[in-house]
Amino acid sequence: MVTAVKHRNTSDKLKKSFVFIGVLLCALSSAAAGFDYTPTIVQINKHQQSDTVGFNLVDGAYKLFYKYILDGSVKLWDSPAKKIQITPKALQQIEKQNDLDFRKSEDLFVYEYWKLYKKDFEFQVIGFSFFARNDKRDKVNFGYIDASDVQTLLSRIVIATNINGSTNLSYWHALMSKSYQFNIAKFGNVDLVKNPSYAFDLKRDIFSSKKIKTNKYVITPTKEVEYFVYPDMDSNSGSYYLCHAIESYYNDNRHNYYNETPTPSVDYLDINTKLQVTRIDVSEIWMKDERNQINYTPQRIRIYINEVPMPEMSVADSSKKSILIQFRPITEFLKEKEFKYTLKRVNFEPIYGYEADEIKTALYTKDWNKIQYTPPKTLKNKRN
């Protein structure tokens, strides 16, 4: 008789538990419900990231963390409780024992606190956990890093971005942008891996709602664009004016050329050989405004004299030389783009010649996160 009562009580408790979880999950699916600071685990998978995002947070973060864990500047712990520190040597032993490479892990787990009050949502990043699976499909714990230990590092270092990304984006801002693909693995005590539909509803109701204001970082559409200019045979072309003006300056001020160039192409005693500008490389920051107009900010310039490159200099320094192109300072002339140029690189993505014109057209006509570009496989593999 006692056993029956005990069984009935246990059954009632289980039913109440399931009802509670059901009610909680239903509440989570509606952003209007709101919730106080709730521990949340976000899972980011390396292979689920789209090229349109412009960066791969998992791939980049693992390589970045690994470097600083091994040199001892970042502490790696056994768990969020931070009771045992995993030394660089211990991490390498874990890799060796499981035949794994920390840097090639596929999932990054981010510990956060989420809060929704009325129509305001905010999240805080608390830390990172690293897991992988070995050949036996056993789960391997690589450890935990506290966010407070690496926030300065992540804010300082720029993440590599492809042609669809934005330039000068720090790892921290990339993380806080929530523009990447992620899954909610756990919300409070609720395992949402087992309830993916509720995880999807919660994510949609918060991050896809126009009514809810979030504290996620808004990425400014900017790109670092590098291009090169060759002197044109047409003496009425913009590229001719640009190259000829710089060429004239150095021929009139040859001492400046030798002072600025460690390995000059023409011996300083050779006064009969003319200094000729054979190529100019320019890097700029391009930014789109609210009207989709592009604003250019020239940054660096490298001048080739008689096929030999001079040291790169800032465009600001080159402007101090009082070089005028068609009565305009070099900075203004570069901004106006009244010359032929060939793309060399967009962000961290090299552009190969046969697609340079097509990509240049796309930068002016397409959304900046929807530019299709696939480098030749042989060249891409060689670069990696």
DSSP string for 172-183: HHHHHH--S--E
Res. 354: pLDDT tops 90: no
If you average pLDDT over every residue of the chain, what do you get?
Answer: 90
Total Cβ atoms within 10 A of residue 330: 23
Are 228 and 279 spatial neighbours (Cβ–Cβ below 8 Å)?
yes
Give pLDDT, residue 377. 61
Confidence of residue 20 (pLDDT cuts 50, 70, 90): very low
Give pLDDT, residue 331. 96
Give the pair of three-digit tokens for residue 221. Answer: 């559409």
Please state the separation of Cα 230 from the chain's center in Å.
Answer: 31
Q: How far apart are CA 195 and CA 176, in angstroms?
A: 25
Total Cβ atoms within 10 A of residue 321: 15
pLDDT tens readout for residues 362-376: 999 999 999 987 766
Mean pLDDT confidence for 65-75:
98
- Contacts of 151-155 spanning 24+ positions with Cβ under 8 A: 151/125, 153/64, 153/68, 153/73, 153/74, 154/64
Mean pLDDT confidence for 48-62:
96
β-strand partners of 342: 228
β-strand partners of 282: 227, 301
Q: What angle do CA 348, 349, 353 make, to 5 degrees?
A: 140
From the CA atom positions of the chain, what is the Rg in Å?
A: 28
What pTM did the predictor assign?
0.86
Select from 271, 275, 268, 265 the least CA-distant residue to 244: 275
Residue 351 backbone zone (phi > 0: left; psi -120 to 50: alpha; other: beta): beta
Confidence of residue 32 (pLDDT cuts 50, 70, 90): low
What counts of helices (H) and strands (E) characterise the chain?
A: 12, 18
Q: How far apart are CA 220 and CA 100, in angstroms?
A: 37
Res. 276: pLDDT tops 80: yes
Q: Would you call 299 helix, strand, or coil by DSSP?
A: strand
Are 219 and 273 spatial neighbours (Cβ–Cβ below 8 Å)?
no
Dihedrals φ, ψ of 110, to 5°? -110, 125
| Location of structure tokens 């690293």 | 130
* Residue ranges covered by each domain of the chain: 31-214, 222-383
Mean pLDDT confidence for 118-146:
96
Res. 271: pLDDT tops 90: no
Q: What angle do CA 96, 130, 134 make, to 5 degrees?
A: 40
Total Cβ atoms within 10 A of residue 257: 19
Give pLDDT, residue 122. 97
Give kind and range of the element (H or E) at residue 72.
none
